[in-house]
Chain A
Amino acid sequence: MQSRGLLAFPRAAPCAAAFSALMILLAGPPPAAWAAAPAARPSVEATRATTAARASTAAAGSAEAAPAGAGQRIYERSRPRLLQVRTLLKTQDSQASVGSGFLVEDGSLLVTNYHVVSQFALQPNRHRLVYVTVDGSQGALQLLAFDVVHDLALLRPADPAALTGRGAIAWRPAREALPRGARIFSLGNPLDVGFAVAEGSYNGPVERSFLETLFFGGSLSPGMSGGPALDDQGRLIGVNVAARRDGEQVSFLVPAAPVRALIERGRSARPLTTPAWPEITRQLLQHEALLTESFMAQPWRSAGHARYTIPVPQETFMRCWGRGSTQAERGLQFERGDCEMDSRIYINASLLTGYFTVRHETYDGRTLGALRFADRYSASLRNEFMGRNDRHLTAPQCAERLIEQPPRGGGGPGAAPGLPLKAVICLRAYKKLEGLHDLSVLVATLDDSQAGAQGRFDAHGVSFASAQKLAQHYLDGYAWIAPKTASR
Chain B
Amino acid sequence: MDRAQDRLALIEIVEREGHPARRVDVRAWPVTLGRALDNDIVLDDPHLAAHHAQLEPQGGAAGGAIALRVLDSRNGVRLAGRAVPAHTPLPLPAAGALLQMGTTRVRLRLPGEVLAPERQLAGHAGDTLTPTLLTGAALMGLLCAQHAVGLDPGADFSAWLPTLFGLPLAVMVWCGLWALLSQLLHHHFDFSGHLRIALPWMLGLGLLEALWPQAAAALNAPAGWQLSPALEALGAALLVHAHWRHALPKRPRAVSAAVAGLLLLGGGISVASSLRANDSPYRTPYMSTLPLPALRLAGTVPAATLVQDMAPLAARLAQRVKKAREEDRDDSDAAVED
Residues in B with CB closer than 8 Å to A448 are 293
Q: List 19 A-B contacts (CB under 8 A).
A: A330-B153, A374-B290, A375-B149, A377-B290, A378-B290, A384-B288, A386-B286, A395-B280, A397-B316, A398-B286, A399-B312, A400-B306, A401-B309, A425-B313, A427-B310, A430-B321, A437-B317, A468-B307, A471-B310
**B309–A399 CB distance below 8 A:** yes
Interface check B266, CB cutoff 8 A: no
B 283-309 to A, binary, CB cutoff 8 A, 1 in contact else 0: 011111111111010111111111101
Given contacts A331-B153, A402-B301, A421-B300, 14 further A-B contacts (CB under 8 A): A330-B153, A332-B152, A378-B288, A389-B278, A389-B279, A401-B305, A403-B303, A406-B302, A423-B303, A425-B306, A425-B309, A425-B310, A429-B321, A437-B317
B222 at the binding interface (Cβ < 8 Å): yes
Do residues A397 and B286 form an inter-chain contact, with CB atoms below 8 A? no
Please determine whether A475 and B307 come into contact, CB atoms closer than 8 angstroms: yes
Q: A258: CB under 8 A from chain B? A: no
B313 touches A397 (CB 8 A): yes
Contact of B23 with A by CB under 8 A: no
CB-defined contacts of B299 to chain A, threshold 8 Å: 402
User: Is there a chain A Cβ closer than 8 Å to B81's Cβ?
Assistant: no
Interface: B117 (CB within 8 A): no
B296 cross-chain contacts in A, Cβ below 8 A: 402, 420, 446
Q: Does A55 contact B (CB under 8 A)?
A: no
Report chain A residues within 8 Å CB of B112: none
Stretch at the interface among A16-24, A153-161, A365-373: A365-373
Smallest beta-carbon distance B173→chain A, Å: 28
A-contacting residues, B219-247, CB 8 Å: 220, 222
Query: Pick the contact of A403 from B280, B284, B290, B302 — CB < 8 Å?
Result: B302
Q: How far is the CB of B226 from chain A (nearest CB, A)?
A: 11
Determine if B294 and A472 form an interchain contact, defined as CB atoms under 8 angstroms apart: no
Given A404-B301, A424-B286, A429-B318, verify A395-B277 contact (CB < 8 Å): yes
Which of B153, B298, B300, B304 lies at the interface centre, i.e. has the most chain A CB atoms within 10 A of its CB? B300
Which residues of A sit under 8 angstroms from B309, Cβ to Cβ? 399, 401, 425
CB under 8 Å from chain B, chain A span 163-201: none
Q: Could you mark each residue 453-486 of chain A with 1 if its beta carbon is under 8 Å from any beta carbon of chain B, else 0?
A: 0000000000010011001100110000000000
The answer to whether the Cβ of B7 comes within 8 Å of any Cβ in the partner chain is no
The docked-state distance in angstroms from the alpha carbon of A398 to that of B296 is 22
Q: Once bound together, how far apart are the Cα atoms of A429 and B324, in whole Å?
A: 11
One of A386, A444, A476 near B285 (C-beta < 8 A):
A386
- Among A370, A377, A384, A395, contact of B279 (Cβ-Cβ < 8 Å): A395
Contacts of A384 in B (CB 8 A): 288
Interface size class of B (residues with CB under 8 A): 35 or more
Could you tell me if A442 and B286 are in contact, using CB atoms closer than 8 angstroms? yes
B328, CB-defined interface residue at 8 Å: yes
Contacts of B114 in A (CB 8 A): none
A397-B320 Cα distance, complex, nearest whole Å: 10
Residue of A nearest to B213 (CB): A378
Contact with B along A423-440 (1 / 0, CB 8 A): 111111111101001000
Top 4 nearest A-B pairs (CB, nearest first) are A382-B288, A395-B279, A399-B309, A429-B317
Q: Check if B63 is an interface residue, CB within 8 A of chain A.
A: no
In B139-163, which residues have CB < 8 Å from any A CB?
A: 149-150, 152-154
Instruction: Answer whether residue A396 sits at the interface, using C-beta atoms and an 8 A cutoff.
Output: yes
Whether the pair A399, B313 counts as a contact (CB closer than 8 A) is yes
Q: Is B325 an interface residue, CB under 8 A from the partner?
A: yes
Indicate which residue in B276, B289, B301 contacts A378 across the interface (CB closer than 8 Å): B289
Contact flag A420-B306 (CB < 8 Å), given A389-B279, A394-B321: no
CB distance from B113 to the nearest CB of A (A): 62
Looking at the assembled complex, report how far the CB atom of B80 sits from the nearest CB atom of chain A, in whole angstroms.
54
Bound complex: CA A401 to CA B292 (Å): 15
Rounded to whole Å, the gap between the CB of A48 and the closest CB of chain B is 39
Bound CA–CA A394/B222 (angstroms): 22
Residues of A within 8 A of B304 (CB): 472
Q: Is the CB of B310 within 8 A of A467?
A: yes
In angstroms, Cα B277 to Cα A331, docked, is: 35
In the bound complex, what is the Cα–Cα distance between A389 and B300 (angstroms)? Answer: 31
Contact of A367 among B150, B153, B288 (CB under 8 A): B153
Interchain nearest-CB distance for A361 vs B (Å)? 14
CB-nearest residue of chain A to B217: A378
Whether B306 lies near A388 (C-beta < 8 A) is no
For window 333-391 of chain A, which residues contact chain B by CB distance below 8 Å?
367-372, 374-375, 377-378, 381-382, 384, 386, 388-389
A447 an interface residue at 8 Å Cβ cutoff? yes
Decide: A426 near B286, CB < 8 A? Known: A400-B222, A403-B302.
Answer: yes
Known: A381-B290, A396-B285, A475-B303. A427 touches B277 (CB 8 A): no
A449 contacts B by Cβ under 8 Å: yes
Assuming the A-B contacts A399-B309, A400-B287, are A449 and B298 also in contact, with contact meaning beta carbons closer than 8 angstroms in the complex? Answer: no
Query: Quick check: is B314 within 8 A (CB to CB) of the other chain?
Result: yes
Give every chain A residue within 8 A of B149 (Cβ-Cβ). 371-372, 375
